[in-house]
Amino acid sequence: MVLEAKGIKKEFTNGEVSNLVLKGIDFNVDDGEFVAIVGESGSGKSTLLYILAGIDRPTEGSVVLLGKNFADISDKEIAQMRRNDFSFVYQFDNLVPNLTVYENIVLPLVLDKKKESEYKTQAEDVAKYLGIDSALKKFPAQLSGGEQQRVAIARALVTNPKVIFLDEPTGSLDKERGKQVMELLKSINKDKGVALVMITHSQAHAEYASRIVKMEDGLLG
Ligand SMILES: Nc1ncnc2c1ncn2[C@@H]1O[C@H](COP(=O)(O)OP(=O)(O)O)[C@@H](O)[C@H]1O
Ligand SMILES: [Mg+2]
């Protein structure tokens, strides 16, 4: 088991108004699984994914990821885990505009103070695997949406994570590019055994996963 979440509730409070967005969610992910979370806009999918990845904390409930209970560790330790053991691909492109593609891909390794000699070949291999090796010296704005999304995936993959969380990775792509990214995610899961937890709006894209769960009004079906 890579992920075990129990009784997750999340309440946002704004002045006197409170909004219970997650109403008690149990969710597990096995080693090497590919799970798609589908559901309407506003149903709480991103909120859940942030909590599973330790970007946000639940109001109630527990998350144990790769054997670590987030309740027992600091945000800093979680951030360190996110650079080493698992990764997150944001819904909206999160590349650094003034860094090259190569620099964007290796950013988690640089932040982790790794030496370039230790990761250069790995970064080039990942770029090749994702078909963006000819773009390494370019800047994000010079790439298509689909290429940018592949750079974000390369950055998520370069650290050899055991789990990758993805928030609508194909949300801003046209049909053909979306399909290409889904094919890539499926091969990453198969070839590298990385567990994937992906939010998607698209039923067709969800079907690339080995399991589909439905989010409805703050609960998982
Ligand atoms: N930081 C926040 N503060 C207050 N409300 C929030 C916050 N983040 C999300 N919400 C609310 O939680 C609900 C679910 O949002 P979200 O998880 O983004 O849904 P989804 O990803 O399924 O579209 C929405 O009503 C949204 O307005
Ligand atoms: Mg969302």
Q: At 16, which helix (H) or strand (E)? A: none
Strand ranges inside the chain, DSSP E: 3-14, 17-29, 34-39, 60-65, 68-69, 86-89, 163-167, 195-200, 211-216, 219-220
Q: Which residue puts its alpha carbon closest to atom 3 of ligand 1?
A: 12
pLDDT tens digits for range 61-100:
999 999 999 999 999 999 999 999 999 999 876 899 999 9
Map out the domains of the chain with their CATH numbers.
3-220 (3.40.50.300)
Cβ atoms 170, 182 nearer than 8 A: yes
The model carries a pTM of 0.95
The pLDDT value given to residue 40? 92
Q: Is the CB of 10 under 6 A from ligand 1?
A: no
Q: Does residue 172 have a pLDDT over 90?
A: no
| 151 CB near ligand 1 (under 6 Å) | no
